Amino acid sequence: MKLRLVLAFVSFLAFNTIHGQTFPDETWEYNIDKESKDWDYDALKVFNNYIIDSTKLTGLVIIHKGKIVFEYGDIVENSYIASCRKSILSILYGKYVEDKTIDLNKTIKQLGIDDVDGILPEEEKATVQEIISARSGVYHKEGYPGGMQQYAPERGSVKHGSYWLYSNWDFNVAGYIFEKETGKNIYDEVEVQLAKPLNMQDWDRGLQKKEGDTTISKYLAYPIWFSTRDMARIGVLMLHNGNWNGNQIISKNWVQEMIKERTNYKELNTNVPSFRDSGIDFGYGYMWWLFQNVKDKRFEGAYSARGAMGQNITVFPAIDVVLAFKTKAAYSRRNSGKVRIDILKKIPTFYTGSVHNITVK
């Protein structure tokens, strides 16, 4: 695949600018100014070779101030975004939490949630908030793979809310709760809340279908298919605290709630040994991963949606950068955890411009 490093071209009517930021309308603007001191273009060329030689990515895009500064591979094709779906669901929750349609303090028992192997008395006390924080303490088997239940304590052994574990049971139940409480279909809400307002170029409602083994758990997963460039639109929305070209699509307060620490990196690394010494310390919010324990100011305040095999949306607020990359499962292309972390570590180092002072709470 060839690097499409970018000859600045784009139609005048395709873009809108607000407060010095560009928002894509129906297409993206490309901006490579080799006289600019914001990017190390020689390093980006080396990075392009790294992608080819050392990764199995099928698409990657770097957005700076709303414009594409680097593009690799096929950023148009829709494919499975794996666990990035959870971060998308978290965005959808905001509207309904704020209008009190969804009560984050409701318990599993109050919601009438049961499952194939039953729910234990201690597990029944878990709240919606604990479920979307991966802190429910419910370790029922998941009917759709992708969690980390191999690290789960014995069922009923921990108090709800007291222990972080990345479990697809939590995330699939979060989808069920969303639909039960709102009366809305998740995919329809992706279309209404995100795809249409953000002018997603490649969204296809027909590709979206729930999956899962209901003999293990009755709660289905909600796989989502996006293109790389549409994933980047999600990142731009998050970077601007839910505002899209002057329209508040998601409230600023909810964006801040999603990326507020619910679990710090020390607990996460303790509970799941595979995260120790991975290269980046992650905390956890409402289904978003938070960069923590960072020393380089360019990484400060960063957060990610992350999915298996190498699906990713990362926002670097200190440098106005959004990164999106993915693989296509149908090609059997899987990137190791090390490669995925290496990519996240490399991107801000290519940026040589000014850095905002970010206060992380």
Q: pLDDT (tens digit, 9 = 90+) per residue, 286-301?
A: 999 999 999 999 999 9
pLDDT at site 336 = 78
Contacts 24+ apart (CB under 8 A), 20-27: 20/65, 21/65, 21/66, 21/240, 21/320, 22/65, 22/66, 22/67, 23/66, 23/236, 23/244, 23/245, 24/66, 24/199, 24/233, 24/236, 25/199, 26/199, 26/201, 27/201
pLDDT at site 37 = 83
In angstroms and rounded to an integer, the radius of gyration of the C-alpha atoms of the chain is: 20
Query: Above 60 in pLDDT, residue 133?
Result: yes
Name the band, by pLDDT with cuts 50, 70 and 90, for residue 7. Answer: very low
pLDDT at site 49 = 97
pLDDT at site 358 = 73
Which residues touch 2 (CB under 8 Å, ≥6 apart)?
none
Mean pLDDT for 207-213 is 98
Per-residue DSSP letter, 183: -
Name the band, by pLDDT with cuts 50, 70 and 90, for residue 359. Answer: low
Contact assessment for residue 322 and residue 314, using Cβ atoms and an 8 Å cutoff: yes
pLDDT at site 5 = 44
Query: Above 70 in pLDDT, residue 277?
Result: yes
Query: Above 60 in pLDDT, residue 234?
Result: yes
Query: Above 80 in pLDDT, residue 87?
Result: yes
Q: What is the pTM of this model?
A: 0.93
Mean pLDDT for 200-219 is 98
pLDDT at site 278 = 85
Query: Above 90 in pLDDT, residue 260?
Result: yes
Report d(CA 353, CA 319) in Å as an integer.
8
